Amino acid sequence: MQIVSHYLVFDTTEAIDIVNITSAIQEKVKAAGVSQGHVVVFSCHTTTALTVNEDEERLLVDIKTYLRKLAPPQDRYLHNDLHLREVPPDEPINAHSHLMAMTLGNSETVPIVDGKLALGTYQSVMLVDLDGPRKRRKVLIQICGI
């Protein structure tokens, strides 16, 4: 069995941005030459998440609306009391982003069958940036198999 790790890096363009990263993961699986196994996909940030869902334009809008209802950016959060703690000068007001990320989760595991991600017909692996837009959002993928 082999284990291969890669970092994938993505830029985001919206406050809540959903990026389909399936093809980037599949490219690394192909390059690794793994036929049977799995890939672990892990978000390297506390305000990003990963999910497997349908990459359909209207659903993506619905997801963003739903997340904003779960943790409205305008609500009062203790984490946003920046004056009460030492923070870098560019520290954002982003408690809502942390809460949304925690709700979605920061990792996914996808089986590899015959060298391909074993996703269903409408499934895609998506990075969800909840504190964007940002440059260089990192995702670690670890490919394990034979």
> Number of structural domains, the chain?
1
Tell me the residue range of the domain where 29 lies.
2-76+92-145
CATH of the domain at 25: 2.60.120.460
Average pLDDT over the chain, rounded to whole?
97
In a domain, 26, yes or no: yes
In a domain, 83, yes or no: no
In a domain, 84, yes or no: no
What pLDDT digit, counting tens, does each position of 62-76 carry?
999 999 999 999 999
In a domain, 138, yes or no: yes
Residue of 2, 26, 4, 23 whose CA lies nearest to 142 = 4
Percent of the chain with pLDDT over 70: 100
